[in-house]
Amino acid sequence: MDFELQATAEGTAARAGLITTGHGTIETPVFMPVGTVGSVKAVHQHELRDQVRAQIILGNTYHLYLRPGTEILHRAGGLHKFIGWERPILTDSGGFQVFSLADRRKLREDGVEFRSHIDGSKHLFTPEKVVDIQRTIGSDIMMALDECPPGTAERAYARKSLDLTHRWLERGWRHYKETEGLYGYSQAFSPMVQGVTYPDLRRESAELVADLGAEGNARGGLAVGESAEVMYEMIEVVNDILPADRPRYLMGVGTPANILEAIDRGVDMMDCVMPTRNGRNGMLFTRHGIMNMRNRKWADDFSPIQEDGPADVDRLYSRAYLRHLFIADELLAMQIASIHNLAFYLWLTAEARRQIQAGTFARWKREMLECVTRRL
């Protein structure tokens, strides 16, 4: 994986760049739709490509390991071929999912033991195994296994957790270096900065991550219960430590406002289930504000969902029709809202990139922040 830093916005840390992978290039900053089990919910692959203009999507190691399983994925020739997606894929390590299993998992020095949420079967994820699984998945960007403490964890726990995550990172990194991709293209391995909300732990973690010299670096353990302000601070405290010539990925973030603030702080890649999950519940994000499509006010609004919207669905269907579909619990409602929201998130990051390149990001961001947080 290569990264070319193409522009930096004056007065902010915002950057425009170009990532090159074995499955093509990615213009940053970029939002990455989440396709947990190999499908971005309610969206066809060609819609992701042509309507949403997704440049890269996510898969989840925990979920894909359980279903369809590594044997099937291996025989399919990797996840790209299995799902019919030719552009880049990033896989989360599954750490976050395993740790949210609560009483179904047990932390050990060598890894984390857990029971499947599907059939209760027992499994062990080690830093090495998680690399092996991602080798089989064939993701272009693989993530290290980490322990994910809650955003409100006490310092003593955070300290202990960070040490374990670092030991796991070194093991994962070593295993990554000793193994190779299975399908003829190279896979990057990304460590992630942890440290809960303790600036000194975050900085310590960033030093260690920077020292590895990985092709990309991530920040994990944010947007898990702490305030947005604290999250932004945690992004900033490691900005001077993480190398500027490698892409920076902020995991699991967030609202359109979060996305803008993260870009402002030099983040290049983001992912979140919010556009699809909230979309399925009737919430539409637009450049003019947030629309709750179940609201009565749309019942007789026969204008297009969004005349100047980023996807064809915005002009194909009216607000009144979309509201009706939500009220009547029709699947098409979820399909339309998912495409719209993802297309909006991709528009937002692409537009941020244009503004960065044009030297107008700071002002645009201020204006856009007011728009995207408004309730329509």
Widest Cα–Cα separation across the chain:
62
**Catalytic site includes residue 110:** no
Beta-strand pair 122-125/89-92 = unpaired
332 binds a copy of itself (CB under 8 A): yes
Nearest to a copy of itself of 269, 325 (CB atom): 325
**Residue 54 neighbours by CB under 8 Å, 6+ apart:** 32, 33, 40, 48, 87, 342, 346
Chosen residue from 321, 344, 345, 361 binding a copy of itself by CB under 8 A: 321
Residue ranges of the alpha helices (H) in 237-290? 256-264, 274-280
Give the number of C-alpha atoms closer than 13 A to the C-alpha of residue 96, restricted to the C-beta side: 19
- As a dihedral over the C-alpha atoms of residue 93, residue 95, residue 97, residue 103, rounded to 10 degrees, the angle is 150
Minimum distance, C-beta of residue 338 to a copy of itself, in the bound complex (Å):
9
Residue ranges of the alpha helices (H) in 179-269? 199-212, 228-236, 256-264
**Catalytic site includes residue 211:** no
Nearest to a copy of itself of 52, 336 (CB atom): 336
Nearest to a copy of itself of 92, 147 (CB atom): 92
Total site size for a copy of itself, rule CB under 8 A: 38
107 binds a copy of itself (CB under 8 A): no
Phi and psi for 269 in degrees, rounded to 5? Answer: -135, 140
CA-angle at 98, arms to 94 and 100, nearest 5°: 120
**Residue 119 neighbours by CB under 8 Å, 6+ apart:** none
Nearest to a copy of itself of 217, 341 (CB atom): 341
| Binding mask of the shown chain, residues 163 to 182, with x at each position contacting a copy of itself by CB under 8 A | --------------------
Chosen residue from 5, 18, 76, 182 binding a copy of itself by CB under 8 A: 76
Chosen residue from 19, 169, 334, 348 binding a copy of itself by CB under 8 A: 334
Nearest to a copy of itself of 114, 321 (CB atom): 321
3-state helix, strand, coil in the chain (%, to 5): 45, 20, 40
Catalytic residue, chosen from 140, 146, 264, 271, is 271
277 binds a copy of itself (CB under 8 A): no
Interface of this chain with a copy of itself, residues 38 to 57, rule: CB under 8 A: 38-39, 41-46
Other CB atoms within 10 A of residue 328 CB: 9
Q: Supply the residues annotated as catalytic.
A: 92, 271
Binding-site ranges for a copy of itself (CB under 8 A): 37-39, 41-46, 63, 67-68, 72, 75-76, 81-84, 299-300, 302, 313, 316-318, 320-321, 324-325, 327-328, 330-332, 334-336
